[in-house]
Amino acid sequence: MSIPIVLDKSTFQGLNYDDIVELHKYYIVNITPLLVSEILGDLAKEEKEGKKPPKDQVTDLAKKMFPYNAYVNMDYKLLVEKSLTGEFTTAHNRPFLSAQKSINTPTKKGMTFVETEEELSIKRWKRGEFDTMDEIIANVWRTESKDEAVVKTFKEKFDHLKDIKIRDHKPSNEEKFSSLKERLKERLYIEIEPVDTLNLVMEYFDINPDLKNSIESRWKNESHPDLQSLAEYAIYCYEVVSLYYIGINNSLCGERLTNLLDLGYLFYAPFARVFSTNDRFLRNLFFAVDPNDTFFVTLPELKEDFKKFQTLNKEGEVFNEPPNKDSETYRIWDSVFNMELTRRLKPSAAEIKRKEAELEEILNIAETGKEGDFEGEPDFVTKETFISPDDPCPCKSGIAFKDCHLAKAQNRTN
């Protein structure tokens, strides 16, 4: 068992290699395309005396991105569009990936996934290999991340919200944001016609004009009680950017360009049960947005948890749950899984054997089963991943793959 988590760059950089090993034991790491872009963007930094060259810095960061228990989420822009067209409905607090193919057989239906372009790039960066396209993308990212005109353009898109101001004195930013959020909802969902709000969403996210009529037709012709029912994720993302604008307009948020870039991490919060940042701005905006069923954990809390876990580690021993109950990670696990009940429902030896046989069947179907579309939830999902010998072993022992199960497999072969 593991719990999906989204980390922004501030938390990711704040965790050392040993911390990341512990992270992957108890969390499914949802790697956002934004984090990948930010890491590659460091390639275009100027070299500074006394510091590692930018290429070495990117290589070091890439080495902390392990392939097991981690997935690169689909880009939010595509998901916003699919939300508006009805192709994507609910995030379910788990990573959302692009399937290579769907399998539909008389016994089981499922989806198979392969490594994404981002994952393949990360593997190259770990080896210190960067191509011309990497350098071009990095330079474009660094240039765009310094273009202050972007903030001015952003603010110009929210004239319909500029009169939303704090009416009464509130003792805390949290209460101020809460009051402003209620006013935002009144404006978007009561005072403005739904189809006009829908057009504001499409305009902000630069949705393909060819889709506009069909999206409007969904609202007019389908039975949706509100816009959230029509396009939950797209509306959520628009609330994120709207709240940031209102925060700026009420002096609750700074206008730094980095803030506008960082709020993009919140677009991925619905694809996790846990969100972490060490950035005060992003933390405040997280609680203002309040993503459904998503816990917040700080960088210091994670580091303290992992420090406690490391003192209990023994070579060759794998824990099935966070080993210290006095930790934020354990408290989150208990809230999600009900650990007392989970222990009582521990599978028997016969059940484990049956599951192992089912796994073999699934792997065979994923490789040889007939492709075909299906409706509803899949019975299985498989992900093809290639692991470096230097990566930690997927068994969660914390030992390098080459010294753990790879070595055991080689010994059996010999």
pLDDT, tens only, 40-66: 888 888 888 778 888 999 999 999 988
Report residue 170's pLDDT band, with 50, 70 and 90 as the boundaries. Answer: low
Among 302, 275, 295, 321, CA closest to 19: 302
Fill in the amino acid letter for 32: T
Fill in the amino acid letter for 409: A
Q: Which two tokens stand for residue 317?
A: 């021993």
The whole-angstrom separation of Cα 355 and Cα 349 is 10
Q: Which two tokens stand for residue 50?
A: 């006394």
Do the Cβ atoms of 138 and 43 come closer than 8 Å? yes
Report residue 102's pLDDT band, with 50, 70 and 90 as the boundaries. Answer: confident
Residue 15 pLDDT greater than 90, yes or no:
yes
Do the Cβ atoms of 97 and 114 come closer than 8 Å? no
Residue 169 pLDDT greater than 70, yes or no:
no
pLDDT value at position 65?
87
Which residue has 């990341």 as its token pair? 20
Report residue 201's pLDDT band, with 50, 70 and 90 as the boundaries. Answer: very high
Average confidence score pLDDT of the chain: 89
Can you say how many angstroms the Cα of residue 387 is from the centroid of all Cα atoms in its chain?
Answer: 21
Report residue 413's pLDDT band, with 50, 70 and 90 as the boundaries. Answer: low
The whole-angstrom separation of Cα 94 and Cα 87 is 17
pLDDT, tens digit, for every residue of 304-321? 999 999 999 887 788 889
Q: Which two tokens stand for residue 83?
A: 């939300």
The whole-angstrom separation of Cα 62 and Cα 55 is 10
The whole-angstrom separation of Cα 235 and Cα 304 is 36
pLDDT, tens digit, for every residue of 262-293? 999 999 999 999 999 999 999 999 999 999 99
pTM: 0.91
The whole-angstrom separation of Cα 161 and Cα 183 is 9
Residue 410 pLDDT greater than 80, yes or no:
no
Do the Cβ atoms of 15 and 299 come closer than 8 Å? yes
Coil vs helix vs strand at 181:
helix
Residue 167 pLDDT greater than 80, yes or no:
no
Residue 107 pLDDT greater than 70, yes or no:
yes
- CA neighbours within 13 Å on the CB side: how many for 265? 29
The whole-angstrom separation of Cα 106 and Cα 112 is 17
Q: What percent of the chain has pLDDT over 70?
A: 98
Between CA 279 and CA 285, with CA 283 as vertex, the angle to 5 degrees is 120
Do the Cβ atoms of 68 and 20 come closer than 8 Å? no
Which residue has 């379910």 as its token pair? 92
CA distances for 318 relative to 25, 152, 207, 249, 329, angstroms = 9, 52, 47, 51, 16
Maximal CA-CA distance, the chain: 76
User: Which positions ≥6 away from 200 have C-beta within 8 Å?
Assistant: 160, 188, 192, 238
pLDDT value at position 111?
83
Query: Each residue of 188-218: b (16+ CB within 10 Å) or e?
Result: beeebebeebbbbbbebbebeeeeeeebeeb
Residue 379 pLDDT greater than 70, yes or no:
yes
Report residue 144's pLDDT band, with 50, 70 and 90 as the boundaries. Answer: confident
Instruction: Annotate 352-400 with DSSP letters as a single string.
Output: HHHHHHHHHHHHHHHHHSPB----S--SEEEE-----TTSBPTTSSSSB
The whole-angstrom separation of Cα 179 and Cα 164 is 10
